Amino acid sequence: MKEIKVIGHKVPDTDCTLSAIIMADFLEKKWYKSEYFIQWKLNKETEFVLDYFWIEVPKIKTSFEAGTRVCLVDHNEKTQSLDNLEELEVEWIVDHHKFDFKSKSPLYIKAEPLCSTGSILYKLYKENNFEISTKIANLILTCILSDSLLFRSATTTKEDTLIAEELKQISDIKNIDEFAMKMFDAKSDLWDISVLDLIKYDYKEFNFNWKKAWIGTLETTNPNYALWRKKEILEWLKTIKEKDNLNFIMLSIVDILNEKNTTIILDEDAKIISEVFNTEVNDNLADLKNRLSRKKQIVPELNKYFENNNI
């Protein structure tokens, strides 16, 4: 029986964390001996979900022994993966993002433009005629609710909503609206979180035409809490940019209930935001309107900008 480690991206969110748990179950059914891990501490939404379903918090690992067989879920880019990815044997990737992965050998890849990795895992179970238990149905449905922001995000497809409806028949989650709001309220409980952790709540690093960009998102039902701390956030954004030699950095505060994106931006990056999203920056704030999806509504536009501008 082959051993394999399953892990999501550097800053774990709910879809990433639960997908690792689900994928480990799937691989056990494929006769692997699997273990799942996270790369950093969890946000409060994911903590709430694991506690709700009585699941122990996964162990944190940022590297494995050279030659270890791994499965990457909810990511494939090197900047978001394990520290020593080049030394590992990537055997599986399950993801719903754009691909930037070079393989040394053939591997199994399951990727589709669905709103969550959980949705893709649902299809993997179905394609292999594997039974979906109540526990796995709970986790997949939670992935969809989290990543789609209760079907508000532009990443949500008709297929995601159909999968969610089918999962409701198996899951213990009967009132998905009520459950999703409990998740979002947990995510928005930020009173005891440092400004640095608030900024790193959900960030990803990207390489746009050899330019390093750091794009953070804070999805919340209480955007004013973060906006009240704008001065501190700007100081930390400046520090992070200089420390990590970034070419660009931004933090979007996403108001889940009102479907509105207010982005905090440094003075030196304001011109880029203005040009890319055709908006003004006032007092280091940019109104990005209803752009709730980093993957679909922010990253592609920034990528296009950096490809067309040698800055």
Structure tokens given for 62:
């940022």
**Burial (CB count within 10 angstroms: exposed 0-12, middle 13-18, buried 19+), residue 286:** buried
The secondary element (H helix, E strand) that includes residue 240 is helix 230-243
Rounded Cα–Cα distance for residues 68 and 70 (Å): 6
| Residue 274: count of CB within 10 angstroms of its CB | 14
Residue 103 has pLDDT above 80, yes or no: yes
Of 218, 163, 164, nearest in space to 193 by CA: 218
Asked if 261 and 215 touch (Cβ cutoff 8 Å), the reply is no
Q: What is the mean pLDDT of residues 10-16?
A: 96
- State the Cα torsion 300-304-307-311 to the nearest 10°: -100
48 vs 193, more confident: 48
Exposure letters 178-193 (e unless 16+ CB within 10 A, then b): ebbbebbbbbbbbeeb
Residue 174 has pLDDT above 90, yes or no: no
- Percent share of the chain, pLDDT over 90: 87
The model's pLDDT over 59-84, given as tens digits with 9 standing for 90+, comes to: 999 999 999 999 999 999 999 999 99
Residue 290 has pLDDT above 90, yes or no: yes
The model's pLDDT over 113-141, given as tens digits with 9 standing for 90+, comes to: 999 999 999 999 999 999 999 999 999 99
Q: What is the mean pLDDT of residues 251-259?
A: 95
